[in-house]
Structures are given as C-alpha cells and as structure tokens.
Structure 1
C-alpha cells in the first residue's frame, strides 16, 4: 500500500505558523525596560481619564447632557478593554495607582517601580485634565464628587473601597504576573469597570482610581472629597490582596519570576519550532 504523498507547501505553512505563534508568545511575555513601561502608563492613564472625565466635561460644555450615564460608565470600561489588548504586554497597563499598589502588595511587581508608576499615572491624568480644560473648560465637571447629602463622603468612601476591592480582585486573578495581558484580562477587567459603574456611579462616581479623580481635581483646583478617592481605593486594593492571599496563598515561582523581569515558561521555544520543521 502506497504511503500518502506529503505536501511540502502544507508543511512549510504549518512550520511558519508554529514559528509565528512562538514568536508572538515570546514577544507577549518578555519584559520591557522601565522607560517603555512608563511611557505606556502615561499614555494609558491619559486616554482613560480623557474618556472617563470627558463625558462630564462635554455634557457641561454642550448642555442638555447628550451623553447618558450608561454611556459615560461603559466608555471607560471599553477603552480599558481595548488598551489591555493593545498595550497590556508592554507595561501591564495598570493605569491606576491602586492597581500598582495591589500588584506590589501581592509581591508580583517590583517595589522599586511603584513610585515611578504612580508619578507617570498622575502626570497622565493631569495632562488629560489640562487637555479637557483647554478644549472645553470647566474640567471640574468631569470630577468625581461624593453625593451631596448627609454622610455623603462616608457613603462614597465605603463604595469606593468595595468597588476597588472587587476590581483589584478581578485584576489580580486574571493577570500574568504583574501584568494584565490577553483576552481573559481584557474582557474581565473592562467589563468589571463598566458593570461597577452602571450601578454605583450615582453614589461615588465609581472612580476606583486615585489618578482619575485627582487629575481633574488638581487642574480644576477643587478638592471636594478628595480623600475618598485616595483612601477608598488604597484600602480596597489592600482588601483584595488579603483575599487572594487567603484563597490562593503566596505567589508561585512563575509569578515572582515575571515580577522580577524573568520570562514566564512558554509552551514552545524557537529551538522546538525549528526542530519540527
């Protein structure tokens, strides 16, 4: 019985496909230098705050609130989802000081990088607020302020704490080491940002991000309830770290290697791919 003929073109295409996916995985998981990370964190925070604060600023500028509350809270979730797909492998796309704090508290992010991340995240938020102020004026309309009722700041503080604990828990459980990468992280984190905003934004604005709130505060020189958006997310992130530590224990060696700049294990290597040609 004759053996079936081997199609060399098909084998060549399969070999190219294997090499492509190996290289794609290598590029996704390899560590970037700090300066690249900081550029991405700055740009990512700028985009996030432009979108998140922009709805309130533009509604105030145009009048009659053409951007609904639903659209205003879904848009930041959608842009976070898109940026994780595009930029997650480059910096981890924290774009939130509370998330950086959570990764560092978990022990999967170098502590020496925490302050530089915080600095560029706040700088990105301030630049976004300056952009909105220059374009439309009254950037304070895009800020997050506690509800104007008795006990409003405390209710907002409790909500920001709980919301951030939920968000940080999702991020910590879907991240690769100290980085949000891939469709699992993108869909989970982006949808969580949107869903939490849908039900909680009337209470605290559902910021869950000190940079997002402080950027418009600083540019608008209005610090009403600012402590809510610093203390709440920090406490919420700490709660998330405690929860994941309880249910999952300490980080495994792969997580620690990723945090310190080592490569995560891959399903194949270039040598393996070459051997299969």
Structure 2
C-alpha cells in the first residue's frame, strides 16, 4: 500500500451475493459477469487512487499525512468499497482471486478476466496520479523522487517474508469474517479494513505493505520501475493461497463452521472475496 516513501496495498473482497447457478463452467460475457468485471475495475481504480494519493500528498507536503494517516486511508477505502461493491464483487486483488480459485471458491475460467481488469484499474489510477501530481520521471535512480509503487527498504528476503505474512494474515481474516457466523455482514468491511490498516502500520516502512500484485504492478508499469517487482507478484499470491488452504483445513474440522464448497458457487459471503 505504501510507496517508496510509504506505500499501501491494497486489498479486495468477494462478492457477498453469488449467483447460485454459477459454476466452474459458467459462461463468460454474460450480463452478470460483465457487472462483476466493471465492479472490479472501478473498485481497484478507487482503491489504488485513494491509497496512493495519500502517499503523494504526504510526500509533497512535509509528511503531513503521516504513516498512520496513510494506513487509515488504505483501511477506510477498503471498508467503503466492500460496503459499496461487495454485493457484486469486491476482490480488487489478484492474490485473493487466485487463492479463491485454488480452493474452488471461484470459477477458474473467469480468473484471467478478473486479473486483467484489476491490473487495468491499478494502472489507470497510477496514470491519473502521475498526471495530477508533479512527480519526477526517473524514480528508480533518484533517491528523493516519489515512487507510488512498491520497493523494499531492506533485503529482498525480508520483503518477501513480510509480504507473505501480511497477505496471509489478511486472507485469513477475510475467510474468517465472510464465512463464520460469529460476525454479521455489516461488520465485514470494518474488520477487513482494520486488518489492512494494521498491516500497513507495522509493514509499511519495510515493504510498503502491498498485499496486492495489482497495487504494485500498476505503478511499476506507469513509472517504468520494476525493481523487486517479482517479490510483490509472487509473495502476496503465495501468502493468500496458503492462508486460504489453512482456513479450509481449519473450518473442515469444526461442524459449526461452513466448509468450503466443491463448486464455484460457495457460501454466499465468500464466493467473491475482495482483497
């Protein structure tokens, strides 16, 4: 979520009202599927725009927003988007979409389209910010330039492990609050947003707390800076997939928790998890 200065990820959630007739072989290009893609595109755009705009403002105005402020922006925008678009689709994060597909919670044939629109949304938001703010072009070679993408402050290993842990934590929370009966749907956005805020506070200065391949890839494409990009594509994806499978194993041992379905039309509060 943070940039080279302070960067955040972002995150997306699943749609909370899945179509019960949708399966792993559901037809593409239907009106319902198009609505989902539009929701993912719009949601990812606003997620990256709001979070990265906070970073840009903070960098250009003597750190007036602060790390805590940036963390709150990322958490609040995720919360708002979940409540606004969650009934349609609210992943906003390729790592979340891939994790759900790996557990058969999401149609595999829709995966390429979802990832494509998520990356497009992030890229468009990054391009908008580059036009709005006076940001230097050669960000990779100039120490004091503001880069709104993701860049490790320490070693690659440190960044990889941190992104793996925080994305796994986020995915675990998403699975828990959208499937368990302990929380109501009205609290899902708040809890997920709080988790994003928490992750950014302690990991933002280390890796930028991306937790989202699209959040890192969009700015990288716009600024042409790909240093360490493999970390932000691979680590969050592995972290999210691992957490989804861990929760699947945990929930299957408790009869009070709904188990993952063998079809793409899983539990109504998990099918289209955002992250």
- The TM tier, using the shorter chain, reads 0.7 to 0.9
Work out whether residues 143 and 217 of structure 1, in 8 Å CA contact, stay in contact via their aligned partners in 2: yes
Number of the residue aligned with 2:106: 109
Residue segments in structure 1 that go unaligned for 5+ positions in a row: 1-27, 265-277
Cα distance, 1:244–1:65 mapped onto 2, change above 3 Å:
same
**Residues 1:195 and 1:225: Cα distance change in structure 2 (over 3 Å):** same
What is the CA-CA distance between 1:57 and the residue it aligns to? 2.0
For the residues of structure 1 that align with 2:72 and 2:130, how far apart are their CA atoms? 22
State the superposition RMSD in angstroms: 2.6
Write the mapping of 1:48-197 to structure 2, written as runs, cut at 5 A: 48-60=47-59, 62-91=60-89, 93-138=90-135, 141-147=147-153, 149=154, 152-175=155-178, 182-197=185-200
Normalised to the residue count of structure 1, the TM-score between the two structures is: 0.75
Unaligned segments of structure 2, at least 5 residues: 1-15, 20-30, 137-145, 270-275
Alignment of structure 1 residues 208-219 onto 2, 5 Å: 208-219=211-222
Whichever of the two has the greater Rg, that structure is 1
- 2:17 is aligned with 1:29: yes
Contact 2:172 2:244 in 1 (8 A): yes
**Normalized per residue, which structure has more helix?**
1
Please say if residues 248 and 260 of structure 2, whose CA atoms lie closer than 8 Å, have aligned partners that are also in contact: no
Q: Could you give the per-residue CA deviations for residues 239-265 of structure 1, whole angstroms, max 9, x where no partner exists?
A: 1022112212399688456x338979x
Query: 194, 198, 201: which one pairs with 1:198?
Result: 201
TM score, norm. by length of structure 2: 0.76
Q: Give the SS at the match of 2:86.
A: helix
Alpha carbons of 1:44 and 1:248: their partners in 2 closer, same or farther (altered >3 Å)? same
| 2: CA distance, partners of 1:253 / 1:203 | 35
CA contact (8 A) 2:58 2:64 kept: yes
Query: Does residue 1:244 correspond to 2:243, yes or no?
Result: no
- The 1-side partners of 2:230 and 2:93 are apart by 16
